[in-house]
């Protein structure tokens, strides 16, 4: 019988790419999610019955233990950018990660890959970054030979980064950003999936790997490149951190007053704190090179999925070409 991998959050942005690659490797894939009825799209990643979504709540021991039973490897991709209801940073990214590692050891799982993030720091002012660091500590305490991946901002067809700002560019002549001078090292989602698969297959030594793409750019530079891709001219305006805190506070308050019915998908106070710190691979850190992976540039991928944000969408290039025709 083929080996089995349990992927927590396997229907999410990164998890689905890992699930697809593990299925191609011939593994059975158990996709552990809170809403398996909404994750049916992962089934065609493999043969009939090879990829199956199952229910799991990582805040509950019995639920986690059930989806780990019989697994040869586990990948934890669960993460949140905003706290809503019971899904708090500490509960999901710290306690949840620790629970998965501890119970994976109890169940005799051979390998564990944990998805963290560049900027994970137990001393950070950002609760997101702090919970990521505490999650790493909990994982290593429960599963000493774990492979921990720390990607920079991840891009790909389903991303919430380039897609979000490309959509905003359609609303007017100004594109506001917070932390215009903050540096990022965007990494392609499928490259992150390759790194996770290397960990599952035992091709990566235990330890921490920081994953960044081939280019380091400021937020402003990324937005300028984005405008070229979507064929728009916009004035990129930096919002000072003090003003961003006030705006984010208003969005957070709206979420609080509505009891989470309206979630803050715009900007949180915690995100403002994170944007003060560069999001790039640390000097001397292990990364793609040690994994034998050549990272893909954003320039090579973003035009394939951001064309829909151009003034004429998929026909933009044709219309530009038509302008050169002489009567």
- For 281, residues 6+ apart whose C-beta sits below 8 A from its C-beta are 118, 152, 185, 210, 211, 212, 287
What pLDDT score was predicted for residue 177?
A: 97
Q: Please give the pLDDT value at position 325.
A: 67
* CB-CB contact of 67 with 100 (8 Å): no
Tokens encoding 239:
């919002």
CA 9 from centre of chain: 11
Q: What is the pLDDT of residue 149?
A: 98
How high is the pLDDT of residue 236?
97
Residue range 274-283, pLDDT digits in tens: 999 999 999 9
Q: Cα–Cα distance between 273 and 270 in angstroms, integer?
A: 5
Q: What is the DSSP letter of 280?
A: S
pLDDT single digits (tens) 115-138: 999 999 999 999 999 999 999 999
Whether residue 190 contacts residue 155, with contact meaning beta carbons closer than 8 Å, is answered with: no
H or E element in which residue 138 lies: helix 127-142
Domain assignment of residue 302, yes or no: no
Per the CB < 8 A criterion, the answer to whether 188 and 222 are in contact is no
What is the residue-wise DSSP string for 40-84? GGGGGGSSTTTEEEEE--TT-HHHHHHHHTT-SEEEE----SS-B
Residue 259 has pLDDT above 90, yes or no: no
pLDDT (0 to 100) of residue 41: 97
Would you state the pLDDT for residue 228?
Answer: 96
CA–CA separation, 50 and 129 (whole Å): 35
pLDDT digits (tens, 9 = 90+) for 156-179: 999 999 999 999 999 999 999 999
DSSP one-letter code for 4: E
Q: What is the pLDDT of residue 318?
A: 75
Instruction: Tell me what percent of the residues of the chain surpass a pLDDT of 90.
Output: 91
- The pLDDT of residue 261 is 87
Check which CATH number belongs to the domain holding 96 and give it: 3.40.50.720
Question: Is residue 220 assigned to a domain?
Answer: no
Q: Quick check: is 255 in a domain?
A: no
Q: Please give the mean pLDDT across all residues of the chain.
A: 95
Phi (first) and psi of residue 195, to 5 degrees: -65, -40
Residue 324 has pLDDT above 80, yes or no: no
pLDDT at 7 over 80: yes
The residue range of the domain holding 97 is 4-158+186-214+279-295
Residue 253 belongs to some domain of the structure: no
Q: Is residue 45 part of a domain?
A: yes
Domain count of the fold of the chain? 1
Which H or E run contains 119? none
Inform me whether the pLDDT recorded for 82 exceeds 70.
yes
Percent of the chain with pLDDT over 70: 98
148 within some domain? yes
pLDDT-derived band at 284 (thresholds 50, 70, 90) equals very high
pLDDT for position 320 = 66
- Could you read off the pLDDT of 173-202 as tens digits, one per residue? 999 999 999 999 999 999 999 999 999 999
3-state helix, strand, coil in the chain (%, to 5): 45, 15, 40
25 in any annotated domain: yes
Q: Is 16 inside any structural domain?
A: yes
Q: Which two tokens stand for residue 87?
A: 């899904």
């Amino acid at each position: 019988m083929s080996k089995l991998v349990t992927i927590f959050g396997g229907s999410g942005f990164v998890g689905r790419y890992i699930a697809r690659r593990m299925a191609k490797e011939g593994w059975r894939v158990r996709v552990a999610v809170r809403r398996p009825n909404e994750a049916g799209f992962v089934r065609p990643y493999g043969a009939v019955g090879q990829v199956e979504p199952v229910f799991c709540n990582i805040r509950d021991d019995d639920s986690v233990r059930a989806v780990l039973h019989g697994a040869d490897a586990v990948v934890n991709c669960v993460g949140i950018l905003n706290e809503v209801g019971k899904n708090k940073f500490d509960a999901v990214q710290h306690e949840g990660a620790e629970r998965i590692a501890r119970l994976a050891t109890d169940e005799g799982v051979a390998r564990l890959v944990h998805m963290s993030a560049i900027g994970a720091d137990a001393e950070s002012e950002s609760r997101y970054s702090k919970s990521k660091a505490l999650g790493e500590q909990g994982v290593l305490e429960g599963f000493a030979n774990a492979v921990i991946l720390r990607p920079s901002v991840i891009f790909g067809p389903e991303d919430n980064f380039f897609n979000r700002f490309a959509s905003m560019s359609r609303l007017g002549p100004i594109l506001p950003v917070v932390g215009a001078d903050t540096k990022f090292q965007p990494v392609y989602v499928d490259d992150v999936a390759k790194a996770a698969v290397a960990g599952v297959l035992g091709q990566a030594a235990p330890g921490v790997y920081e994953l960044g793409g081939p280019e380091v750019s400021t937020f402003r530079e990324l937005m300028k490149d984005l405008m070229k891709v979507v064929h728009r001219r916009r004035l990129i305006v930096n919002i000072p951190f003090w003003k961003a805190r006030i705006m984010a506070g208003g969005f957070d308050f709206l979420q609080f007053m509505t009891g989470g019915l309206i979630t803050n998908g715009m900007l949180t106070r915690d995100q403002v704190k994170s944007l003060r710190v560069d999001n790039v691979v640390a000097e001397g850190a292990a990364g793609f090179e040690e994994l034998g992976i050549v990272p893909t540039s954003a320039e090579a991928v973003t035009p394939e999925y951001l064309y829909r944000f151009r003034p004429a969408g998929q026909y933009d290039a044709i219309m530009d070409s038509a302008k050169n025709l002489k009567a």
